[in-house]
Chains A and B, each alone.
Chain A
Amino acid sequence: MLKPILLVEDDKRDLELTLIALERSQLANDVVVMRDGAQALDYLRREGEFADRAAGNPAVILLDLKLPKVNGLEVLQAVRADPGLRSLPVVMLTSSQEETDVVKSYELGVNAYVVKPVAFERFVSAIGDLGVFWAVLNEPPPGSSKSTRRNEPA
């Protein structure tokens, strides 16, 4: 069974458009939606309201930069600091190509960075490409992360 895609997005319109884009990209993965950074971290760590969810990490996190409570960069930082989550692919979605945001994201170890285009077709193709690359094609890098993966239930 394919691991789900975790989408963290607070804006309901962006959420709808992103879901449509993911749908149109014809990915078979489930999409789990979280509306703020704190909720996303709870989900990932299986804490709070997600304490009872079945174990297992998503295939990829699509993370909006501007989020209520805990923002995207903070979520990214927490993911990279957590031994159980460290090797998760994270793709940052944002409204602008602000230099400091980009630099900061890469410093924190983001795997990809997507500026949401104004034109919808381009958004669809960008999201589609991302999903295919990270959710289907991408194999985890060999080496240090393998031991972690081995401990994970499939």
Chain B
Amino acid sequence: MPGAVQPHGRLLVLDSEAQRLVACSDNWPADALDAAQEMLRNAAVPALAPGAAPVQIGTWSAGGERWDLSAHRSDRHLLYEFEPASPTEGNEAPIYSLTRIFLPRLQRARSVEELAQLVATEMKRLTGFGRCLVYRFDEAGHGEVLAEDLDEGYDSYARHHFPAGDIPQQARALYVRNHFRLIADAHYTPVALRMADATLAPTDIDLSQAQLRSVSPVHLEYMRNMGTLSSMSVSIVIDDALWGLVSCHDHQPRFVGVATRLACEHLGQLLALRIQSEENTSQVAERLALRKLTLDIVSHLADGDGTLSLLAEVPAWLRFARAAGAAVVLDDTVWSIGEVPEEGQIQDLANWVKGLGVEVFSSHRLAEDYAPAQDFGDCAAGVLAVSISQVHRHLILWFRPEIVRTVTWAGNPRKTTLSTDGRIHPRLSFDSWQEHIRGTSQPWSKAEIGVAGELRQALIGIVLRRAEEFAEVAHELARVNKELEAFSYTVSHDLRAPMRHIAGYVDLVVDLEGKQLSERAIRYLGNVKDAASFAGHLVDALLDFSRMGRASLKRRQVDMDVLIHDMVRELSRHEPGRNIEWVHDAHYPVLYADPLLLQVAARNLLSNALKYSRGRDLTRITLRALSTPEGDGLEIQDNGVGFDMKYVSKLFGVFQRLHQTEEFEGTGIGLANVKRIVERHGGHVWASGEPGQGARFGFILPRSDPDAPDASADPQPSSLSGDLHA
């Protein structure tokens, strides 16, 4: 009920500038009101900051009654609250006993639970309330009872949870500003404000900081439903946030005097300080331990070659996050240890996390954010992930299994009570109500999340350093490669000359002196000449091979239908005596390649098929068009001599031959050329075979990249090249 106060005290509202009466509670006898105003005119009131909690300014005796007087300032008004000064409570200076006896005990407590228990007991002793609870709010605002002290006849709420809805958001905000709240009698009849300033309404008076403020009827009903006739609460505020409450209840109306109230507020502050330091200490200790593990991990990686996959070998890696499983995702590769989802699921999750664009992601209820996690909730209900790279999918993920938590609510939190008149009533039942909460893991602590971020930084440092080293190596390799090419050019160039000289002079000798020479000498000289000319071929082939690696690729769309049929016709012409059956596919693909190089590759494969099937009565060469996700290509199968698969790795090497030259001529460089050409196009080659059963060679080239500038299949020259030709 707005603009009203609880009946056990009286309120005066003055204009803050003119000290003129603005309003008063409607329970002032006329003479007392005058006397109070008179007294206030002479009272020394300390400076009050607007919005601050009320300040105790003394005791006032009038007409045989003693009042405790407190004051505070709202934006526009001064509010004076008069509460009956209790007779001595047998507890003259509660704050002294608190300091003398209680504080040392509080200092000895070693856990938050222990602290809470001490405070519950002390608060109950100070106030005389029948039940005293200390509870803490979680992130969602649900309260969990950490400790309680109670008299006989009071229900226990130990370890119970109170749903967030029990305390509305506005009430929480008030708890942060005003640490003490008393409702002395849930059956009270509110006292309205009587306005002295006719221009104002009772709702214009800001009572949010007033001790006497009347609470909402719903809250009174809530109290009565709990069987509580008086209640008192002290806020536990840490870092300007409501950490928890000390909440006291009694079955009877109960009033708390000023001295006790001050002691209670003080107790709440002591508790807040101790909890804060306790939490800080444990966080610092946790962070230190985690930092040490981070160092272990990083130093292990720094000693190795810097690849993240090494993480899988570091035992500290799992311990780091007290996880049951962990995975490193490097693009399409996943390394994992412990309990983890399937590889595909990890990849999908990594993709999703990367899409979030955050450096560190954590959730202990993954399925709520990422629905597919429901399928692997048992092993990974919680995940902590760090994304190492913004460009690549490089992530580290830690997983925690599901913990089925049983929460005991003080009453079913989902149950809303709607009466026939449409008003929402606070729930009637506070009987224990158990709920099994699924899909959650042990939460990740602030320290774990923080150190995961630090680990990320350290790893990035390592990765970057390795990248630099790789770049240097690549640079060096490119240089060496260039040198090698220059070398092979020079060598083959210079080697050709002596071969030419040998052949030339042998020819001259035979020409000039042939008649004088024996038949044997002529044959020997023939061998010399053949050897020289074979060496010349080798040199030419080597030069071709070197050129294949250097020539710039001039790619365009090449119709293999035309290329293959032309080539087959031409090759068949060179083998007039043979019985060759060409088995063609219906269509051959259009490949995106340098036409000249592609022709060299295709010719090599086709003439190899012809060469190695020479001994067959019927040569059968089968050509197949290939189409795969990576690209299109060609496969050529013959029924020739084949080869042993254990030599397959040698097949594509330079000057590697599996047959003697008397059997099959050749320099042994053809397949090396094929491989070089295909790989320069970004494709791959393969071979399979069996001795005597024929061989099968194939290659795949990637399709044209529509974004690449030279990918155009358009036969028209581009405007640029048109200009150049003009």
Contact = CB atoms under 8 A, between A and B. Distances in A.
Given A118-B532, A118-B533, A120-B500, 20 more contacts: A11-B497, A13-B497, A13-B505, A14-B501, A17-B508, A95-B494, A95-B500, A98-B543, A98-B547, A99-B551, A116-B497, A117-B500, A118-B496, A118-B499, A118-B503, A118-B536, A119-B507, A120-B506, A121-B507, A123-B500
A119 B348 CA distance: 65
B489 interface: yes
B514 to A, nearest CB: 14
Interface string A95-116: 1111100000000000000001
A118 B500 contact: yes
Contact of A120 (B496, B504, B540): B504
A116 B493 contact: no
Interface of A: 11, 13-14, 17, 20, 66, 95-99, 116-121, 123
Contacts of A123: 500, 504
Nearest to A95: B496
B276 interface: no
Nearest to B494: A95
B581 to A, nearest CB: 36
B600 to A, nearest CB: 14
Nearest to B543: A96
Contacts of A11: 497
Q: Chain A interface mostly helix, strand, loop or mixed? A: loop
Interface in B687-709: none
A14, A17, A97, A118: residue with the most chain B Cβ atoms closer than 10 Å? A118
Contacts of A17: 500-501, 504-505, 508
Contacts of A117: 500
B604 interface: no
Given A118-B532, A119-B533, A121-B507, A13 B501 contact: yes
Nearest to A96: B493
Contacts of A66: 493
5 contacts: A14-B500, A95-B500, A99-B551, A118-B496, A119-B503
A13, A20, A96, A99: residue with the most chain B Cβ atoms closer than 10 Å? A96
B27 interface: no
A17 B507 CA distance: 10
B557 interface: no
A17 B540 CA distance: 21
B467 to A, nearest CB: 34
Contacts of B533: 118-119
Nearest to B535: A118
A120 B507 contact: yes
B607 interface: no
Nearest to A66: B493
A98 B507 contact: no
A28 B533 CA distance: 31
Contacts, number: 56
Contacts of A98: 489, 493, 543, 547
A96 B504 contact: no
B492 interface: yes
A73 to B, nearest CB: 14
Nearest to B534: A118
A97, A116, A120: residue with the most chain B Cβ atoms closer than 10 Å? A120
Nearest to A11: B497
Contacts of B543: 96-98
A96 B551 CA distance: 16
Nearest to A98: B489
A120 B502 CA distance: 9
A83 B489 CA distance: 34
B506, B507, B508: residue with the most chain A Cβ atoms closer than 10 Å? B507
Interface string B608-620: 0000000000000
Contacts of A99: 547, 551
Nearest to B539: A96
Contact of A96 (B496, B501, B508): B496
Contacts of B507: 119-121
Closest 8 CB pairs of A and B: A118-B536, A120-B507, A120-B504, A13-B501, A17-B504, A95-B496, A96-B493, A118-B533
Contacts of B532: 118
B545 to A, nearest CB: 13
A110 to B, nearest CB: 18
B508 A20 contact: yes
Nearest to B507: A120
Contacts of A119: 503, 507, 533
A120 B492 contact: no
Interface in B487-523: 489, 492-494, 496-497, 499-501, 503-508
Interface string B110-134: 0000000000000000000000000
Given A95-B493, A95-B494, A96-B493, A116 B500 contact: yes
A13, A99, A121: residue with the most chain B Cβ atoms closer than 10 Å? A13
Contacts of B506: 120
A96 B492 contact: yes
Interface in B525-577: 532-533, 536, 540, 543, 547, 551
A30 B505 CA distance: 23
A120 B536 CA distance: 12
A95 B503 contact: no
A20, A95, A98, A121: residue with the most chain B Cβ atoms closer than 10 Å? A95
B493 A120 contact: no
Nearest to A123: B504
A120 B489 contact: no
B550 to A, nearest CB: 8
Contacts of B503: 118-120
A98 B536 CA distance: 15
A106 to B, nearest CB: 17
A120 B543 CA distance: 21
A113 to B, nearest CB: 15
A121 B504 CA distance: 8
Nearest to A99: B547
Contacts of B494: 95
Contacts of A14: 497, 500-501
A60 B543 CA distance: 30
Contacts of A96: 489, 492-493, 496, 540, 543
A121 B503 CA distance: 10
B105 to A, nearest CB: 92
Nearest to B495: A95
Contacts of B505: 13, 17
Contacts of B492: 96
A99, A116, A119, A121: residue with the most chain B Cβ atoms closer than 10 Å? A119
Contacts of A116: 496-497, 500
B493, B499, B533: residue with the most chain A Cβ atoms closer than 10 Å? B493
A23 to B, nearest CB: 12
A47 B18 CA distance: 119
A119 B508 CA distance: 11
